[in-house]
Amino acid sequence: MIEPRTLPRLFAGAGKRPLSLADHEQLYKPTDNVANLINELDASGLVGRGGAAFPTIRKVQLLRHQRGHKYVVVNGMEGEPAAHKDNRLLSINPHLVLDGAEMLASMIGASRIAICVARDNPTVVNHVERAIHERARRNLRGPGIDLHTPPWRYVAGEESALVHWLDDHESLPQYRPDRPHILRIGRGPTLVDNAETCANVGLIGRYGAEWFRSLGTPRHPGSVVVSVTGAVARPQVLEVNLGSPISSILATAGADPQPQAVLLGGYGGAWLRADQIGTPYCNEALAPLSLSVGSGVVAVLPRQACGVAEAHRVVRWMAHESARQCGPCAFGLPALAEDLLTVVRGGRDGVAAIARLGDRCSVIDGRGACRHPDGVVRFVRSSIDVFSADIDNHLRGAPCAAARSSHHFLTVPALEHEEELIWE
């Protein structure tokens, strides 16, 4: 049985194969009879682990009083290239995720659960498929569980795009000027949570709010799964106590002990300076630095890397991954990528490009149909701020050797028509 105040929680019993339903139920035995799950979820303070940190209880309360054929959608798409946490969780204990999805369905009165995993990851699809089959043989009561396999894309994991795909097989984010906003499959109100959030609901349903809050901080309780990549011994997924110093997470991952910077929250996140790595890994400590835990990505950039060139690669890929259904994505993001390339190449043209970047960010920010362009703007602004010394060197006409190197530290999938940088 897992102990209340120790880690791992979500990864307890981790082995080479996913836990069977019998092994899962043997390991995660309830310690108390949780009589009122909604009250426990409220008291737990659980916030979503997908990036937005929205209180899970607020989603439940919003959907609970809606009428119609309701759905729970488990978002296991993980469109962030540097993230592997949901894939890891679904590969270790898919039943804990399904526990939480069933509990969410019972709280809002949903009749069906949709588990969404990208078809490009057949191993995880197979693990989830087996877990669903095990539960179906055990119990025919309760909500039906369906596995869906949309194609992998960055925007396909955005919750409104995912619901749109379930509705008519198009991965297009929906314009939502007001949030919270009720998403619908057909006419059915839909609650969407990522796999890690559902797994935490499963734990709260078994052990209660007090147990859950025995780790973490008062304002950001629990544990969190982190994908650590970049200048590390090997990319890995860790379960950590919220509030742990970021430096301790890096040490556990065998990261460069003296990095140039650390990217938090993925490619829609922002950079942490090297002298700030002692900051606790929780939202209340990161907020004064205009940072957050976000999607749970920690990417380490070493001092020998070119932060400007790495930023260009990311922004170019993010522009390519947009839905191209509004001006900020279709025109603004490619323009940001082009200006960053001009800065990387250096010289007088780069001076004008830096000025344009500031203007373009102001025009793009807050004007997209979804939050994808806002995340890119956040990343660009942070890159200009943190790598200002590198930028100055480039603008003086001396692009660094690292910018020309084929060795990169941020994971960016190759584009369909990848082009090499042309150095003058």
User: 102 with 184, same domain?
Assistant: yes
User: 281 with 327, same domain?
Assistant: no
Q: Report the candidate in 400, 405, 387, 388 with the shortest Cα–Cα distance to residue 259.
A: 387
Q: What is the CATH number of the domain that holds 287?
A: 3.10.20.600
User: 144 with 127, same domain?
Assistant: yes
In which element (H, E) is residue 166 found?
helix 159-168
Determine the straight-line distance between the first and last CA of the chain, rounded to whole angstroms. 63
Report the number of distinct structural domains present in the chain: 3
Distance, in Å, from the CA atom of 73 to the CA atom of 392, rounded to the nearest integer, reads 47
Tens digit of pLDDT per residue, the chain (424 long)? 566 568 899 999 888 899 999 999 999 986 655 568 999 999 999 999 988 889 999 999 999 989 999 999 999 999 888 899 999 999 999 999 999 999 999 999 999 999 999 999 999 999 999 999 999 876 667 799 999 999 998 888 888 889 999 998 777 777 665 656 789 999 999 999 999 999 999 999 999 999 999 999 999 999 999 999 999 989 999 999 999 999 999 999 999 989 999 999 999 999 999 999 999 999 999 999 999 999 999 999 999 999 999 999 999 999 998 877 888 888 999 999 999 999 998 888 999 999 999 999 999 998 887 888 999 999 999 999 999 998 998 998 776 767 777 788 998 887 744 444 434 3
User: 247 with 294, same domain?
Assistant: yes
User: 161 with 241, same domain?
Assistant: no
The residues with which 226 forms a beta bridge, in sequence order, are: 238
Distance, in Å, from the CA atom of 201 to the CA atom of 42, rounded to the nearest integer, reads 11
CA 283, chain centre distance (Å) = 14
User: 242 with 115, same domain?
Assistant: no
Say how many CA atoms lie within 13 Å of 350 toward its Cβ: 22
In a domain, 371, yes or no: yes
Instruction: With H, G, I as helix, E, B as strand and everything else as coil, classify residue 161.
Output: helix
Q: Report the candidate in 378, 23, 62, 9 with the shortest Cα–Cα distance to residue 211.
A: 9
CB 198 within 8 A of CB 100: yes
Q: Report the candidate in 294, 274, 310 with the shortest Cα–Cα distance to residue 390.
A: 310
In a domain, 227, yes or no: yes
User: 37 with 84, same domain?
Assistant: yes
* Cα–Cα distances in angstroms (integers) from residue 41 to residues 70, 114, 174, 192, in the given order: 20, 21, 28, 16
User: 47 with 83, same domain?
Assistant: yes
User: 342 with 319, same domain?
Assistant: yes
User: 287 with 338, same domain?
Assistant: no
Which amino acid appears at position 266 of this protein?
G
Q: What is the CATH number of the domain that holds 320?
A: 1.20.1440.230
Domain range holding 40? 21-212
User: Positive or negative CA dihedral for 411, 96, 72, 123?
Assistant: positive
Lookup result for tokens 């369905």: 105
In a domain, 377, yes or no: yes
CB 305 within 8 A of CB 409: yes
Q: ω before 288 within 30° of 0 (cis)?
A: no
Q: What is the CATH number of the domain that holds 100?
A: 3.40.50.11540
pTM of the predicted model, to two decimals? 0.93
